[in-house]
Every structure is written in structure tokens, then in C-alpha cells.
Amino acid sequence: MDEPESTAALTLAAREGLDNLVFVVNCNLQRLDGPVRPNSKIVQELEARFRGADWNVVKALWGQAWDTVWQRDTDGAVVHRLDELPDAQLQTYAARDAAYIRAHFFTGEKLSAVAAGLTDAQLIDLFADSRGGHEPLKVHAAYRAAVEHRGQPTVVLAQTIKGHTLGPEFQSRNANHQMKKLTMEQFRHLRDTLRLPIPDSALRGDEAPFWHPGEDSDEARYLRERRAALGGPVPVRRVVPRALTRFSPSPFRALEKGSGKQEIATTMALIRLVKDLMRDKDTGHRWVPIVPDEARTFGMESLFPTAGIYSPDGQTYEPVDIDQLLHYREARNGQLIDEGITEAGSMAEFTAAATSYATHGEPMIPFYIFYAMFGFQRTGDQLWALADQMGRGFVVGATAGRTTMTGEGLQHADGHSHLLASTNPAAVSYDPAFAYEIAVIVEEGLRRMYGPQAEDVFYYLTVYNEPKQQPPMPQGPAVREGIVRGIYRFRPAESPDAAARLQLLASGTAIHWALEAQELLRSHWDVHADVWSVTSWTELRRDAMRADEARLRGEDLTPYVTRALAGAPGPVLAVSDWMRQVPDQISQWVEQDYASLGTDGFGLSDTRDAVRRYFHVSAESIVLAALDRLAREGAVPAGTVALARERYGRQAGPVR
């Protein structure tokens, strides 16, 4: 409960009246290194937090041995003493003898009178054994109160002792996490405490025997009955295959036609695609758009009046923009989840929808869109857990890249998410440059995740906020295959037989800088370059690693990127809006001389053009780098680079 995400979402459960939700917090007062709240009381703190979040709170603190004390405590002196007792001191009492407890807890005339009628064994039992979380009667009463409560979620705060029954050397000791073994004498104490029917004759050497109550015992029968009711001896995920194959092709074909003269950002292109797919009569209701309070930023307000925003209460008010076409609309059957500014909460909702194909037998298509920096950097652990739970869906980093969202400072200067995503084996990562690439990638993703041979992967797409004319999809099957595999030639060199040749590889928004550089190289320096769109550096690397592994097995496989660039003349220069490590992922499988440009560093809060000059990824910077690689090979005169540096000057960027 120290994790902020654990407490921040409590009000959600209360707002939605989840009275079928029960939290059990084991309050043993101890973390790995020592007390949880040494100078205060964690139970009282948690009670205040949960009650403040409008939860029902049930406490199981003290065992039955304390009933005698409560009867003797006629004026509340013991209760007052416990209230002022910090948790670290309560831990100490659990590890001390009766004399210490009499001298330090039952102090003063009233408390001494209460302790006078208790034996030493009873005093030790109070603090070292009798806690509510250890007694079946108290636990049962707490659970019953929880499940019978209506209208609110419930938390059971159960007070326990860490190391309970293991003896005074273990219980409530700060170092018990490092204690790995029991001595035989400690095991004898455990046996006696739990009244295990193990004879002394079985306690020899260093090994303690296992004990079983018997196949016909009440305990064994109960366990078998419960496991049978739950479906087997161990938890098993049972998935009934339910493929989704009837996606309307028209939304994909629409993006493949391009935007004509209209300029749209790839973020908007993706939103249009999803909106159209949500209209599909067969599968549209399975889409679950999730956004952490940024729907309008990403152009998703068009979903408000049509899909609606989910709310268990519906809409109990008239929105201020009711007279507008794209007015705010909440509904009990709303599809859009807009919980608020909580990436952790949104990721949890994504995981629930991404695993519903197994947990509920209903394949859903979650579509979680966020500012790119706020995904793999902020909630990378949850994305790893998503992979572990075999979740499926689309994770979208919008306004991606280090240089496309500079006005709001470094919090949006994301140049490393693709590097983080590459570490997740289940993340299929793409950095599309054009709308038609998005169409191909999403269509392929739906096939892989929801088709007859569904795979346990999720797709990560990065999209940008710069409006650009979206070209139509080039013709030929190689283009579609290249988009899916990770690379294809977008614009060949104008003069393929020219003496000075070059290969420019670019992903995402960097394709536009590469195309501009292609023209500058041709018109200013008589250098001719092919421009390649790299939709996924990571998928190219994974393909290459699979080819390497296959060769070790004796199979003759060539990586796709090697085959794609085979015979392409001149050096290869890769550029992206990401750190150079992202395009460098494929360098060892490129046979030509390979170099990269990227956005390593924190970035600046300035105009896009200025920041791109700063990182040396502007079109002019690409030209300088290209000429430098060609000069090293002797394809252009050695002085060409100096001439280009003088010609472009500040446009090529300052020296950092």
C-alpha cells in the first residue's frame, strides 16, 4: 500500500459501487528491512485512507486471548495504551518475555491491576500469538462482514505477526527475511506450537519430514473439493478459441488511398481508422478505446456522441456543450474509457480488456492511446505484466519522437520508447511514417491477435502530430510485405546509374527529412539516394536474430533486412526521431557501410526545426552526414563536406 498507484485508484472502486470487491491487507507491521510505520500505526493510517475513499473498513486486529483483557479493562486504560503504542514497539513486545511486557506495557496502577490476574504465559500469548489475522474465527467473521456488505467495496485490515509460529528467534525480527533455515530445535518448537503429530524419532539429521493429515482427513477432502470446484489441482487458463475474422476492409482501403491535398497527422489517420472500424456491425462493439484524459488532444472527441464515455451512473447532468455536434456524452453502455489522468489506471483497464478473451471468453480489442513518453517509461512494469498475462491489443504512443512535441518541455521529448519496447518479447513495435502503413499494420495486427491462429502479442505503434499530405500506397505486393516485415523502398533514386549513390533509411516522421535530403543531394551535389521507409527497426532485428539462430541449426536463412538491401549501391545512412540505438539495432546485418543519425539527449523546448538542427537530424544535417560517408569511400571529392557545411551553415545545426 506504499505504492501510489495502489491508493490512487481506491476512489474508482467506491464511485462505481463495487461491493463485490474485497481487499485484504495483511498488516504484519513489517517490511523487509524493518517496521512499516515505526513511529505511528499503519492500521489507523490505512483505515483513514480507505474510509476517506468511501470504502467499508473491517478490522481483525486482536485474537480471543484479548477477550479477558477487555473484560478487566473497565475504564479503557488498555485501549488507550494500545492507541498510543507505535507499531515498532508493538513488534518488540511480540519478541520479548513476560517480565519485559509487565515492565513496559502494563505500567501504572490501572494497567498493572489488569496484568496482575494474568500469567506469564498469557501475557506472552497476547503479543506473540493472539492477533486477529491468525485466528480462523476472527478471519471468518471478517470475511462474512465483507461479503454481506452492500453498496461499497470492503477492505479487511488483518493484523498478524511476521514469522508467526516460528519461535522467538524469527517472529517480528527485523532480519527474519534473511533467515533461510530452521535449526532442528526451532523446528521442534514449530512442531509443538502447531501440534503436528511428528515424533522425535523422525527429527534427526538436517532434514525435517513432511507431514500429511491423511487422504481421508477433513483437511484433505476439503482441499480436493475446493480444487475440483475451481477446475483442477492448479490454476489453469482455459481458452475457448473464438476468432474474429469479419473486419470490414473499407476503412483500411480508405487510408491506403492517401489524403489527397489534405494534410493530416498520422495520429489523426489512426483515430479515423479506429472510428470507422468501430462502426463495423460484426466487430465494432468489441473495440475498447482507452485514453487518460487526452481524447480531445488526439482528435477523439468525435467518439463522444457516438460511442459514448463509459460511466456506471450514465449522465446525470446536461453537459455545457450539449448544443454542439461533438458534445460530451457519458453513458452506461459507453465504449470509450476516459478515467482521468492516470496512466497506471488506464494500463490496468487495458490489461483487463486485453485478457478478456481468456477470462471471459470474449475477445475484446483494447486501443490505448497516450502521450508517447507516458507509456513504456511510466508504466513499463505493467506492460511487462501485460505480456506475462498474454494480453492482446493496440498500445499507441501519440505525439511520438524527441522533436515533434517540443513546446511542453522535456516531459514530451520521447526519443527512447522504441528502445524500451524492444526489451519486451511480446511487444510488436512499429514506427509508421504514412497513413497507409498504419492501415496495413493494424490489419495485420488484427489477423495475428484475433485470427484463427491468434498469437499472444500486443502491438505498439508510435504516431505523430505533424500534419502532412498522406500519399497513396505504392503498388506491388513487395510494399505490403515490406511494411509488415519492417522495410521497403519508398522512393528510388532518380538516376540509379549515377556515380555517387546512397541509401537513406528513415522511420516515422523522419521520412520527411530524408525525402527533403534526397532532393538536396540530387539538386545541389549530384548525389542520388534511394529512400527506404523502415516501419520497424525492432522487428527487423528480431527477424535477423531468428535467421542467426536458424543458421546455427544448419538452415540457410538470410535476414530480411539483408535481402532487402542486397546490391543497393553506396553506404547506408539511417535516421529517425529516436536515439541512435534504435536504428543501430540492425547495423550488424547490413552489408554496406552503415551509419545512423538520431536524437540522443534531453532535447530542447523550442520549435521543431530548431530542435532538429540541434540534434543534427534536419534535412541539411542528413546531407552533411551523407556526403561525409561518400567522401570516406572516395565517391565525392574530399572537400565536398566543407563546402556543404559552409553552404548550409546554421541549417545543419549548432555544434553541441
Q: Where are the beta strands (DSSP E) in 307-371?
A: 309-310, 330-331, 365-371
- The dihedral over CA atoms of 334, 335, 339, 344, expressed in degrees to the nearest 10, equals 160
> For 105-129, what is each residue's pLDDT tens digit?
999 999 999 999 899 999 999 998 8
Question: Is the CATH number 3.20.20.70 carried by domain 4-180?
Answer: no
Grouping H, G, I as helix, E, B as strand and the rest as coil, residue 196 is coil
Confidence check: pLDDT of 603 > 90: no
* Annotation: CATH topology of 486-652: Rossmann fold (3.40.50)
pLDDT of residue 218: 96
Strand partners of residue 263: 469
Q: Do 590 and 565 contact (CB within 8 A), yes or no?
A: yes
DSSP string over 443-498 = HHHHHHHHSTT--S-EEEEE-----EEPPPPPSSHHHHHHHHHTEEEEE--S-TT-
pTM of the model: 0.89
Average pLDDT over residues 396-414: 85
CATH of 250-300+336-468, one of 3.40.50.1010, 3.40.50.970, 3.40.228.10, 3.40.718.10: 3.40.50.970
Query: What are the residue boundaries of the structural domains of the chain, listed by start?
Result: 4-180, 250-300+336-468, 486-652
Give the tens place of pLDDT for each residue, 130-171: 999 999 999 999 999 999 999 999 999 999 999 888 877 788
Q: Give the mean pLDDT of 510-522.
A: 98
Pairing of β 263-264 and β 468-469:
antiparallel
Rounded to the nearest integer, the mean pLDDT of the chain is 93
**Residue 230: other Cβ atoms inside 10 A:** 11
- Average pLDDT (41-50) is 96
Of 152-156, 183-187, 612-616, the least confident: 183-187
Indicate the DSSP class of residue 208.
P
Question: Of 513, 377, 404, 511, whose CA–CA distance to 466 is shortest?
Answer: 404
- 42 against 341, higher pLDDT: 42
Residue 656: band (very low, low, confident or very high) from pLDDT cuts 50, 70, 90: low
Per-residue pLDDT tens digits for 307-327:
999 999 999 999 999 999 899
Given this model, what pLDDT does residue 655 score? Answer: 66
- Please give the pLDDT value at position 279: 94
Predicted pLDDT at 574: 98
Percent of the chain beyond pLDDT 90? 78
Res 208 pLDDT > 70: yes
Beta sheet of 594-597, edge-to-edge order: 487-491, 528-534, 501-506, 572-575, 594-597
| Whole-number pLDDT of residue 31 | 86
Amino acid letter, 475: Q
Half-sphere exposure of 405 (CA within 13 A, CB side): 22
pLDDT reported for residue 206 = 75
Distance separating alpha carbons of residues 86 and 90, to the nearest angstrom: 7
Average pLDDT over residues 426-436: 98
Q: Which of 13, 31, 35, 105 lies closest to 66 in space, CA to CA?
A: 105
What was the pLDDT predicted at 17? 92
Nearest to 491 by CA among 480, 479, 500: 479
Mean pLDDT across 97-111: 94
User: Does residue 297 have a pLDDT over 90?
Assistant: no
CA 566 to chain centre: 38
Mean pLDDT of all residues in 341-352: 93
Confidence (pLDDT) at 637: 95
pLDDT of residue 175 exceeding 90, the answer is: no
- pLDDT above 70 (res 594): yes
Lowest mean pLDDT among 1-5, 334-338, 380-384: 1-5
d(CA 530, CA 27): 65
Give the integer Cα–Cα distance in Å for 375 and 397: 7
pLDDT over 90 at 406, yes or no? no
Quote the CA–CA distance of 496 and 592 in Å, as a whole number. 17
